[in-house]
Structure 1
């Protein structure tokens, strides 16, 4: 199969028929063998009924229905598991992403050999104060931390090689960090394409301001897991040792002063309590490293690595 389109949705019944017809027309013109995988993330309207109706019209339409709302990351993860196309494209169901972008995205994966291509909504129709400004801050922080220079990490319109979506796991609210997750799995050729951003035609946005707070917390998590997930002692042990040595150094200085001057009162000095706290924190960090290593060693994925190719095996 040439192409899989994975489309998570929540209460988008009005837009689904128009989106499906549009995708079908584009794919028919290009001659793609394709599938559309709608993932209903606990909709409370008649979105699932619409998907069932569309299935009667288009055999390419497939659906996954969650029992409740789990979030976009969970929807994408299940869609990735089900996808069979050599190229996988994700897009939002609200018609703000244009299916006319599909041929160029497919070409960049096929001909230019990108592992992942992320859309960049250079001209947006969102509220500048509540969405554009926080988005710019979020993208700047992610570029700085990840070293991936994309303008719009959170754009729902993305294209992937099949191997990418079968190698990564998306959970929590990590969907906005898929390029970062892909990079940690060894997929280095990540590109960007300016795409059309359309004004919302039906319904209202499902995302609030809290997604930006969660976004920065998730960035810290994915950065830590990516760097130290299989060797946590390298992080906790290093900082535990440094903090303990600092406390030990202050303690040694105080003890030397006490030996030189018997009237020197250790417990009356703030440095005494600082040294004590540093020593305790250092030991705790070191122990946290040991516990993390035990957890990591007993993880079922402790020795799961991305392998590009095997020969003779």
Structure 2
């Protein structure tokens, strides 16, 4: 079998076959090795004509990673006023529930001991994921070498750590970013995640920072960052920014075609470009016939939601 693959790499368990833009048009399933889950083209620049040609061939044009960023606003009240009523009520309900559950929220400078205590919770969370990656362990020495830039926002019941968010402070950019977050399994439905992020946002504002980031997500079809996180972060007032706009070495533009939908979740979802502007749409790839696209509608994707059948379906 001949193949158009230039190389094959692996990312979060997914086997990625890299091809040239000219080879993407007309690519057939039989041209792709059986162990490849995703075909990817690296795009060097914004190019409407090239991008439209790739879309017509069935590829999704997208950033590789996205930062979720928001201006912190002048006050908690003014920030909350920007949110939809349902989102504001969701934050208020989560705060009441956390308070009723006897959880205390605190913010302190990060220490090696508090990092390691957090990491125990983080490692437990990662162990429950099929393709989780322990970034906190990989980055531990990097964080500790620059520990004065970090704070930790924690939720505890007595001495028990139930959740925490480690935040990096970048005063030179008036920017604060959540680097790592983790929660005890029973807290995922209790609102603690929303409360900790809201508290971290308030702390950034109190320290005089202009912007806050919820961190970087691989834009990989819900494989790591689940589709529900798009709506969750959007409802908290955050918008996706291509990561290479903030960190030039991270991500870049890609055109991709999923090889079937059996490796990734079905449906699998990605934020995509429909043109060469920064406005997103949502691409949904699925084998299902009963899919309700309204489930994936979000205000951060003004170009709307579309079914994006892969040209490389298996079988």
TM-score normalized by the length of structure 1: 0.23
User: Computing the radius of gyration over CA atoms, which structure comes out larger, 1 or 2?
Assistant: 1
TM-score normalized by the length of structure 2: 0.23
Give 1 or 2: higher strand fraction: 2
